[in-house]
Chains A and B, each alone.
Chain A
Amino acid sequence: MKLENKEFGFERFADEMAKLKKEQHFDYLVTIVGEDFGAEEGLGCIYIFENTQTHERCSVKQMAKQVGDDYVIPTVCKLWADADLLEREVYDFYGIKFLGHPDMRRLYLRNDFKGYPLRKDYDMDPAKNMYTTEDDIEVDTTTEWNLTADGKLVATAHKLFTDDEFVVNVGPQHPSTHGVLRLQTVLDGEKVKRIYPHLGYIHRGIEKMCESYTYPQTLALTDRMNYLSAMMHRHALVGVIEEAMGIELSERILYIRTIMDELQRIDNHLLYTSCCAQDLGALTGMLYGMRDREHVLNVMEETTGGRLIQNYYRIGGLQADIDPNFVANTKALCKYLRPMIQEYLDVFGDNVITHQRFEGIGAMNQEDCINYAVTGPAGRASGWRNDVRKYHPYAMYNKVDFEEIVLTNGDSMDRYYCHIKEMYQSLNIIEQLIDNIPEGDFYIKQKPIIKVPEGQWYFSVEGASGEFGAYLDSRGDKSAYRLKFRPMGLTLVGAMDKMLQGQKIADLVTTGAALDFVIPDIDR
């Protein structure tokens, strides 16, 4: 969608935001985009909201107020809980201090990093931030910033943990974090008291890189975020560029993209069910899923040439037409997979121990899920209808018949079942489309140098584990002025603290497995 930003001004901002949530029911904060609007305008943020009843979206633009050398904006983390990490991200990259935010630490970069790298005037000279082999500075206090009545910025220090607390680092190297995520966990015996996520161990600065790449070049980076949703990530990026440029796609492209997205979803969900089994110590259950994932990858590989990194969509269509065997292979795959899904339940999902380990673990009700922006199957397990494919349809999703899986308990067990049931729905979607792929172009020819007209767009797709969005601010150039991705996993990790307080350390592993986050997607 093309963004039409509301602007409230600094003084009214906090009140208007509260009104937006309480009166207009915009209770789902999709993302906060920090942006350097240039020398005249300065730094600011764009907030994108959704009304979870009508699924209407709106955006708010708020410029930061300059106080001395600092830029400040009042926090909204008391209104929308997912703003906690999102505001920290903006602080990390732009140095905007959010007034009243209780935990203004860097999120991705090292504590000893100098400067704010996504500001347009940031000096990229490597000498300014020398590569160091020293350990990062470990802080155990954090700062809250507030403005006094006479306009001065004051800091209040908060302690992260007391001296006698038992702190265990789960990660960054840990078998169950599925990547380099570090969860600093305060334990009371086996009980979890508090979790502080530390991100950025695989931060590659993809958003910063996108600002200097031409549009076709940026595509290569999306596959390297959540590699299990590679197709969907690419879909979001080409989607936002195509929408901005007003490209009309042929039916064939839309059909193939939808089928590929769903194949990718099945691939992800198979890996998800496998990892759930593995994290619970049921290695056999894991390998059943891996065995069948191989077949899915084979089908995709014949067309795309990739198994993990797909490189298939491009601006205006697809990289190549589908393989001559694709239709037959996909149909065979669908036929093969249906009975297999029951097998995962037989060997793992319906096991009594699995139920014991999953039921009531990491539970979160619908209200909190919306508040913490736990999208995707994890949120739908609590009853929140948030499927982007249904409510903001793209490609062929408004023409195919599929059910949005919504469950009620919101615990790990329902999250697991939600994934299992979604696999059947994906198979349904594929089967509806696979026989009717229309003839036509698989690529709409574009100019050699792609330029996007001026404006701001946001386009989101249903990734395998949540909403994945791409925000594009174009100034009519051949590269983006600001490209921001809404990762699926960031808000999931942000919600883990709330989900796990008072539960066992073993439940941390269970909840993490059932949430389904992939670290390169969180870190970007």
Chain B
Amino acid sequence: MFDFSIVTRWFDELLRGTLGLGDFGAILIECVIVGLAIIIGYAVLAIILIFMERKVCAYFQCRIGPVRVGWWGTLQVFADVLKMLIKEIFVVDKADKLLYYLAPFLVITASIGTFSFLPWNKGAAVLDFNVGIFLVTAISSIGVLGVFIAGWASNNKYSVLSAMRAAVQMISYELSLGICLISAVILTNTMQISGIVEAQTGPWQWLIFQGHIPATLGFLVFCIAGNAEANRGPFDLAEAESELTAGYHTEYSGMGFGFYYLAEYLNLFVISGLATTIFLGGWAPINIGIEGFDALMNYIPGIVWFLGKTFVVVFLLMWIRWTFPRLRVDQILKLEWKYLMPLSLVILVLMTVCVAFGWTFTIA
């Protein structure tokens, strides 16, 4: 398996040794490059996801989706982004200007922040702390703030209603999300994301196999809660267009709206990426204990595994979104507090018992 840290070490060596830069210079340059890489990756993925969603939903709905701009509509999203970039940004009269401008940045910050935690390949995790999981949940919570502030600052009744719904929903679902993550931590014995993935290499070592029943349940709960956390159907009642026009971002135009749009799709990717990382082995290839097969699988680069698995989860979530009707706010809360939350607690206990008694699935 190719270890990306070879590249990063070489580059670090290049800066420090060959160019003779000190700590400050070297780290500064590295940070800038990594930051740029993240933002470019973020933008590229957003474009891919938006295109994917449009095509996927079109085929679900017996349509063909965009086909006019570029071959098979491939340039459609670029055209849309361009349009959004050149649109006027206007402020609503009597809006709270500071908060109104601040909110999209909070949302995009939270989104990029969590995005940076994803392990792309062996040795290619950007933010990799020993409290990684903990930090991911912490940073993702900033997004709620952005949504709530946007609704509040817009001076629009629909937006306020939507913001209240969004806050209530996102804060609630963060609980089951967090508890599912903790159950993974129990199994792998680490909070560091690279460590969690590392623990999933080897034959049948993906957590969903290792932790069998509790991990499978955990994966399902994580997907449901994650879908709600990303504000997507059937949990998209914060932006329920048939009730609240566009919800908290009704009053945003141009890139203000663009940021919400971007963040929505990237949150989908982040949630799928996290689900992949935690339960489906991240960049770890599927190994079944037969040497020839495993060697072949290991030959496929980790980033392909990671993106492949993530996009499968993304497709699943899109499938759900384009099939189900929307829930009502009380039904969403009922689902979380009466079913998902107790269930995730049960998973936590089950997982602890399994780990304590060594009932996990491991081929030594």
Binding site for B on A (CB under 8 A): 166, 168, 174-176, 190, 277-285, 287-288, 291, 347-348, 351, 353-354, 356-357, 504-509
Query: B62, B63, B157, B234: which contacts A281 (Cβ < 8 A)?
Result: B234
A357 in contact with B157 (CB, 8 Å): no
A505 in contact with B161 (CB, 8 Å): yes
B323 in contact with A282 (CB, 8 Å): yes
Q: Provided the pairs A284-B61, A288-B62 are in contact, do residues A279 and B242 lie with their beta carbons within 8 angstroms?
A: yes
Instruction: List chain A residues, Cβ under 8 A from B61.
Output: 283-284, 287-288
Instruction: List chain B residues, Cβ under 8 A from A507.
Output: 328
A168 in contact with B242 (CB, 8 Å): no
> In the bound complex, how far is the Cα of B364 from the Cα of A311, in angstroms?
79
> In the bound complex, how far is the Cα of B158 from the Cα of A166, in angstroms?
12
> In the bound complex, how far is the Cα of B324 from the Cα of A506, in angstroms?
16
> In the bound complex, how far is the Cα of B29 from the Cα of A188, in angstroms?
55
Smallest distance from the beta carbon of B55 to chain A beta carbons, Å? 14
Smallest distance from the beta carbon of B122 to chain A beta carbons, Å? 39
> In the bound complex, how far is the Cα of B60 from the Cα of A284, in angstroms?
7
> In the bound complex, how far is the Cα of B234 from the Cα of A277, in angstroms?
12
B323 in contact with A357 (CB, 8 Å): no
Q: Answer whether residue B337 sits at the interface, using C-beta atoms and an 8 A cutoff.
A: no
Instruction: List chain A residues, Cβ under 8 A from B233.
Output: 281
Smallest distance from the beta carbon of A218 to chain B beta carbons, Å? 36
Give the interface SS of chain A, mostly helix, strand, loop or mixed.
helix
> In the bound complex, how far is the Cα of B326 from the Cα of A357, in angstroms?
8
Q: Answer whether residue B70 sits at the interface, using C-beta atoms and an 8 A cutoff.
A: no
Q: Answer whether residue B237 sits at the interface, using C-beta atoms and an 8 A cutoff.
A: yes
Q: Provided the pairs A287-B62, A347-B323, A348-B325 are in contact, do residues A281 and B245 lie with their beta carbons within 8 angstroms?
A: no
Instruction: List chain A residues, Cβ under 8 A from B324.
Output: 282, 351, 353
Q: Answer whether residue B13 sits at the interface, using C-beta atoms and an 8 A cutoff.
A: no
> In the bound complex, how far is the Cα of B28 from the Cα of A512, in angstroms?
59
Q: Answer whether residue B331 sits at the interface, using C-beta atoms and an 8 A cutoff.
A: yes
A281 in contact with B328 (CB, 8 Å): no
- Top 3 closest A-B pairs, CB basis? A281-B326, A280-B325, A282-B325
B62 in contact with A175 (CB, 8 Å): no
Interface string of B319-343 (1 = CB under 8 A from A): 0001111111111000000000000
B328 in contact with A504 (CB, 8 Å): yes
14 contacts between A and B (CB under 8 A): A176-B243, A280-B325, A280-B326, A283-B61, A284-B61, A284-B323, A287-B61, A353-B324, A353-B331, A356-B331, A357-B327, A357-B331, A506-B237, A506-B328
Q: Provided the pairs A287-B61, A287-B62, A353-B324 are in contact, do residues A504 and B242 lie with their beta carbons within 8 angstroms?
A: no
Smallest distance from the beta carbon of A110 to chain B beta carbons, Å? 24
B243 in contact with A509 (CB, 8 Å): yes
> In the bound complex, how far is the Cα of B62 from the Cα of A285, in angstroms?
11
Instruction: List chain B residues, Cβ under 8 A from A285.
Output: 325
Query: A280, A287, A347: which contacts B242 (Cβ < 8 A)?
Result: A280
A176 in contact with B328 (CB, 8 Å): no
> In the bound complex, how far is the Cα of B325 from the Cα of A278, in angstroms?
8
Q: Answer whether residue B179 sits at the interface, using C-beta atoms and an 8 A cutoff.
A: no
B236 in contact with A281 (CB, 8 Å): yes
Smallest distance from the beta carbon of A388 to chain B beta carbons, Å? 31
Q: Answer whether residue B241 sits at the interface, using C-beta atoms and an 8 A cutoff.
A: yes
Instruction: List chain A residues, Cβ under 8 A from B196.
Output: none
A281 in contact with B240 (CB, 8 Å): yes
- Nearest A residue to B326 via CB reads A281
Instruction: List chain B residues, Cβ under 8 A from A190.
Output: 161, 329-330
Q: Answer whether residue B77 sits at the interface, using C-beta atoms and an 8 A cutoff.
A: no
Smallest distance from the beta carbon of A191 to chain B beta carbons, Å? 10
Q: Answer whether residue B57 sits at the interface, using C-beta atoms and an 8 A cutoff.
A: yes
Measured as residues with beta carbon below 8 angstroms from the partner, the interface class of chain B is: 20 to 34
> In the bound complex, how far is the Cα of B319 from the Cα of A282, in angstroms?
12
B325 in contact with A175 (CB, 8 Å): no
Give the interface SS of chain B, mostly helix, strand, loop or mixed.
loop
Smallest distance from the beta carbon of B96 to chain A beta carbons, Å? 19
- Nearest B residue to A356 via CB reads B331
Q: Provided the pairs A281-B326, A282-B324, A284-B60 are in contact, do residues A505 and B234 lie with their beta carbons within 8 angstroms?
A: no
Smallest distance from the beta carbon of B333 to chain A beta carbons, Å? 11
> In the bound complex, how far is the Cα of B234 from the Cα of A347, in angstroms?
14
- Nearest B residue to A361 via CB reads B328
Q: Provided the pairs A281-B326, A291-B62, A507-B328 are in contact, do residues A353 and B245 lie with their beta carbons within 8 angstroms?
A: no
> In the bound complex, how far is the Cα of B330 from the Cα of A357, in angstroms?
11
A504 in contact with B329 (CB, 8 Å): yes
Smallest distance from the beta carbon of B321 to chain A beta carbons, Å? 9
Can you name 14 extra interface pairs (CB under 8 A) apart from A357-B327, A509-B243? Answer: A175-B241, A175-B242, A190-B161, A190-B329, A281-B240, A281-B241, A282-B323, A353-B324, A353-B325, A353-B327, A353-B331, A354-B325, A356-B327, A357-B326
> In the bound complex, how far is the Cα of B242 from the Cα of A337, in angstroms?
28
Query: B60, B242, B330: which contacts A509 (Cβ < 8 A)?
Result: B242
Instruction: List chain B residues, Cβ under 8 A from A506.
Output: 237, 240, 243, 328-329
B330 in contact with A504 (CB, 8 Å): yes
Interface centre among B62, B236, B242, B323 (most CB of A within 10 A): B242
Q: Provided the pairs A176-B243, A280-B242, A291-B62 are in contact, do residues A168 and B157 lie with their beta carbons within 8 angstroms?
A: yes
Smallest distance from the beta carbon of A305 to chain B beta carbons, Å? 27
A281 in contact with B325 (CB, 8 Å): yes
Instruction: List chain B residues, Cβ under 8 A from A504.
Output: 328-330
A353 in contact with B234 (CB, 8 Å): yes
B322 in contact with A283 (CB, 8 Å): yes
A282 in contact with B326 (CB, 8 Å): yes
Instruction: List chain A residues, Cβ under 8 A from B243.
Output: 176, 505-506, 508-509
Instruction: List chain B residues, Cβ under 8 A from A353.
Output: 234, 324-327, 331
> In the bound complex, how far is the Cα of B236 from the Cα of A291, in angstroms?
25
> In the bound complex, how far is the Cα of B57 from the Cα of A168, in angstroms?
32
Q: Which of B214-267 contact A (CB under 8 A)?
A: 233-234, 236-237, 240-243, 245
Smallest distance from the beta carbon of B136 to chain A beta carbons, Å? 29
> In the bound complex, how far is the Cα of B327 from the Cα of A354, in angstroms?
8
Instruction: List chain A residues, Cβ under 8 A from B322.
Output: 283-284
> In the bound complex, how far is the Cα of B243 from the Cα of A175, in angstroms?
7
Instruction: List chain A residues, Cβ under 8 A from B326.
Output: 280-282, 353, 357
Instruction: List chain A residues, Cβ under 8 A from B62.
Output: 287-288, 291
A176 in contact with B242 (CB, 8 Å): yes
Q: Provided the pairs A168-B157, A190-B161, A287-B62 are in contact, do residues A357 and B240 lie with their beta carbons within 8 angstroms?
A: no
Instruction: List chain B residues, Cβ under 8 A from A283.
Output: 57, 61, 322
> In the bound complex, how far is the Cα of B95 from the Cα of A443, in angstroms?
63
B325 in contact with A357 (CB, 8 Å): yes
Smallest distance from the beta carbon of B290 to chain A beta carbons, Å? 41
